[in-house]
Amino acid sequence: MIEILKCMPGCSVQDLGRFGHRKLGVGSSGALDALAFQVGNTLLGNEANTPAIEILIFPIEIRFLTTQAFAVTGTTSKALLDGKELPPWWRTTGHAGQILRIESGPEGGIGYLTFAGRLDVETVLKSASTDLKGGFGGHHGRTLVAGDRLAIRRDRSSETHYSFGASPPGLPDSNVIRFVPGFEMDQLPQAHVRSFCEAAWTISRQSSRIGFRLEGPLIQFVSHIELLSYGVLPGLIQLPPSGQPIVLLADAQTTGGYPRLGSVISSDLRLVAQSAPGRTIKFRHCSIDEAAEAEADEQDYLDRLSMLRGAMCP
């Protein structure tokens, strides 16, 4: 069991998401950085979808009430166990009474705190992700606050007190976001298409788990476009009347009606989410084949990490 000693707004319990219910108006929720989330579970020998604590704003402090293996992944945050700094993307063990503090890295971003075993939280529609709009799933359907206690259902992997970590996946151009053009992109004037792809877009402070608003050059169609409502998914790039695009994220609504400029590929959506307000990103056209190759590279990374973990924790 753990106790939350200090927690900033926005921290919640998430897994990979709640799928298959958008026709009912229920979005996916889930981890904003699915790869970092899965790395934490892989280091601990958990199933890939085991829920973790997602940290949007730092710092967070927890006290271990029982001995418990854990991992900290995600952004370049600083984790300290009883004041002793841990390496990044690291798995180790916290003993009863010890205090873990996770502070923000120099570039902000999102962190994940994963535990060996399973957080004993509410599962709704086969997912433990917290749906903040609906108020269900996770820990009482809300963000975490100081004083919360979370039990952890232990398994045999909780008994292996090894300390080791992972090399974070390479991010050669972490501010370059690949996207597949959308249905209405070809109706934009060519000058505006060039502006969209050449501009350095600033992440607005008016952003959330629902979507990131971008600030940059005005992007507009020659004439107003009226669309019937359509189903939307995380990664969709919408263009509202303001002329400033929105990239939808995990808590996005299930339907929308704004023109679609494209969709961020799944492998790069986490890079958008990890971009703190004030940072800039750029967009680059991407083929379906390139998107599939990027996804395969991520899976290969996770498979190799799993093999390493198996060798170190026989």
What are 275-306's pLDDT values in tens digits? Answer: 989 999 999 999 999 999 999 999 999 999 99
**Tokens read off for 145:** 């606050």
Q: List the single range of 99-113, 162-176, 181-195, 250-264 with lowest mean pLDDT.
A: 162-176
Q: Which residues contact 83 (CB under 8 A, 6 or more apart)?
A: none
125: tokens are 């529609």
Note the pLDDT of residue 311: 83
Give the chain's mean pLDDT: 93
pLDDT score, position 174? 73
pLDDT band at residue 239 under the 50/70/90 scheme: very high
pLDDT in tens, 3-51: 999 999 999 999 999 999 999 999 999 999 999 999 999 999 999 999 9
Instruction: Label residue 247 by pLDDT band (50, 70, 90).
Output: very high
Q: Retrieve residue 278's tokens.
A: 């004030």
Band the pLDDT of 193: cuts 50, 70, 90: very high
Give the confidence band of 160 by pLDDT, cuts at 50, 70, 90. low
Are 45 and 309 contacting, i.e. CB atoms less than 8 angstroms apart?
Answer: yes
Provide the 10 A C-beta neighbour count for residue 212: 22
pLDDT for the residue numbered 205: 93
Phi, psi for 92 (deg, rounded to 5): -155, -165
Q: Is the pLDDT of residue 158 over 60?
A: no
pLDDT range class, residue 314, cuts 50, 70, 90 = low
Nearest to 248 by CA among 71, 64, 91, 28: 28
Report the range of poorest mean pLDDT among 65-79, 97-111, 164-178: 164-178
Three-state DSSP class for 48?
coil
Task: Round to whole Å and give the CA distance between 147 and 135.
Answer: 19
What was the pLDDT predicted at 155?
64
Least confident of 90-104, 165-179, 229-243: 165-179
Q: What is the pLDDT of residues 198-208, one digit of tens each?
A: 999 999 999 99
